[in-house]
Chain A
Amino acid sequence: MNRPRHFNLPARLLHWSMAAAILAMLFIGAGMVVSLRYRVPLLDLHRPLGLAILLLAVVRLVNRLRHAPPPLPDDLPRLQVWAAKASHWLLYALMFAMPLIGWAMLSAGAYPVVLFKGVNLPAILPHSPVMYGILRPLHGVLAYLLFFTILAHIGAALFHAWVRRDGVFGQMAKGD
């Protein structure tokens, strides 16, 4: 086996910066939909941050495909191996899906997709109440799914770090 002991530096930088961005994004999203006063300022953060996450996700996927990740411990129970792999696929899928659905849903709702004041993104769907009516709730449901997957991810990472002490946490936390 010719696999590295740690994730490479770009992978680690992407992981920790996107972790902060995605968590911030989830909290911004949850707060803005129930706020009477801060919807607009939070939305003004939510859109450019969402696009940034989408672009970083592309870079991250390319890096991930070109550089094999370090292996999981040999003695990890099969169920945990499966859970680790499945949750990482899910996290990748949602990193792409959430910004794309957000962009598509604003397009379908005939909202201007404002990146910064004066700079709009093009619509990626035609104006369609039917599509908006599907995508808007989907954006919310998948946000909860993403949040709970991240909670599981954090719990598992700490389990590796503190209980199993098998070096898995260090693969992402430290370099070679």
Chain B
Amino acid sequence: MSTPQPRRGSPLLLLPIALIVLAIALAFAWVGGWIGNRKLTPQTMINTAEASGSPQPGFRRAHSKGICMIGSFSPTPAAAQLSTARVFSQASTPVLGRFSNPGNDPYSPDNKAAVRGMALQLKTDDGQEWRMAMNSFPFFASSTPEGFQAMNAAKLPDPATGKPDPEKMKAVLQRYPEIANFMAWSKSAPTPDSLANTRFNGVNAFRLIDARGVQRAVRWSMRPHTPFVAANAEQLKNAGRDYLADDLNRRLATGPLQWDLVMQFAAPGDPIEDPSKAWPDTRPETTVGTLTLARIEPQAAGPCRDLNFDPLILPTGIAGTDDPVLHARSSVYSVSFNRREREISQGNAHNGSVR
């Protein structure tokens, strides 16, 4: 350089340099949740799901037991008026999906599954995707992820007794009273005797956006063409571990199974951001298409196992709402996906290939 002997600064100036570097590091640690009073994180929620049973490497942390499904979706003419999503104008869209049982045991007996899930991936010819994750319950257990987490944490066995502490659940219900509605529903709702006649609900609200840019808040559901039949207690007690898949295969041998995708429209004042409150049945509805299920496959080697059915993967023409549970599902599913795919890549998912 041109100045051979620059006048050096005092070594004391190392102190402000260190402080600047430290300040950036601390800001980063705070944003990343390493320090500070962190609110609930998706990692904590997945840890709780993992704590509810024994480790099942390679499987989803919740709704671990599942069946892959292959089918197609055809829209009704009314659908394209409501949303510009290609899935509503394309004659038929291939569907890859997954039925699931709750809990984190991938081999749980089907007769214990009071709640069931249906997740779908629809890929249209414009390269866009719509992923859905629906459930057989009509509304979510709580208004917020914090309430859901508190409920799940209260269900974990107390280390002292090996059983959940009823006092904890009482406290949760006091703090999140909406959870009582869900518990009442779980106790009283009849369980359908088949996946074929189960209605699946999107539960969270979304917005359909039409060609003029008009947005409509909706909740959707898949309504089975197969008539509802409640499983009776005797039937359930004697049912085989995988009776839901066996039943589907029996039905599919005689022809495909169908569900109508129905949009329910919010009226002004309806709770759009609270999935624990169902909208009244009197709200207007439009059938926007039909799902046709052609065949099912075991999930172990099936195409649905390594997909994250993130309900916020949406095509143009469909948008999420500010429902906090909807956003939390996206975050939490991602953590579950990252953990199980890592287990698979490390060869630890010994159970994953068994069935």
Q: Residues of A with Cβ closer than 8 Å to B?
A: 5, 26-27, 30-31, 33-40, 71, 73-75, 109-112, 117-118, 120, 127, 129-134, 136-137, 147, 151, 154-155, 158-159, 162-167
Contact = CB atoms under 8 A, between A and B. Distances in A.
A162 B9 CA distance: 6
Given A30-B32, A133-B341, A159 B312 contact: no
Contact of A163 (B8, B38, B40, B346): B8
A163 B345 contact: no
B170 to A, nearest CB: 25
B59 to A, nearest CB: 12
Q: Which of B8, B45, B316, B345 has the most C-beta atoms of chain A within 10 angstroms of its own C-beta? A: B345
A21 to B, nearest CB: 16
B337 A40 contact: no
Interface stretch (B71-79, B181-189, B239-247, B328-336): B328-336
Nearest to A37: B327
Given A34-B41, A151-B21, A136 B342 contact: yes
A83 to B, nearest CB: 15
B313 A111 contact: yes
12 contacts: A5-B2, A30-B33, A36-B39, A36-B41, A36-B328, A73-B1, A118-B126, A118-B315, A129-B344, A154-B20, A163-B10, A166-B6
Contacts of B28: 26-27, 30, 147
Given A154-B20, A164-B9, 15 more contacts: A33-B335, A36-B45, A37-B331, A39-B42, A40-B330, A75-B4, A109-B308, A154-B24, A155-B18, A159-B14, A162-B17, A163-B8, A164-B8, A165-B9, A167-B2
Contact of A112 (B32, B313, B331): B313
A112 B316 contact: no
A163 B14 contact: yes
Contacts of A39: 42, 327, 330-331, 334
B345 A132 contact: yes
Given A130-B345, A159-B14, A117 B308 contact: no
A154 B25 CA distance: 11
**What class of interface size applies to chain B in its complex with A?**
35 or more
B43 to A, nearest CB: 7
A130 B345 CA distance: 4
A31 B39 CA distance: 12
B233 interface: no
Given A109-B308, A111-B313, A133 B345 contact: yes
B307 interface: yes
Nearest to A156: B17
B159 interface: no
B8 A110 contact: no
A30 B43 CA distance: 13
Contacts of A134: 345
A36 B42 contact: yes
Nearest to A73: B1
A109 B341 contact: yes
B7 interface: yes
B106 interface: no
Nearest to A38: B327
A119 to B, nearest CB: 9
Contacts of B9: 162-165
B346 A133 contact: yes
B57 to A, nearest CB: 11
Q: Which of B1, B13, B20, B342 has the most C-beta atoms of chain A within 10 angstroms of its own C-beta? A: B1
B14 A31 contact: no
B3 interface: yes
A130 B33 CA distance: 28
A133 B347 CA distance: 10
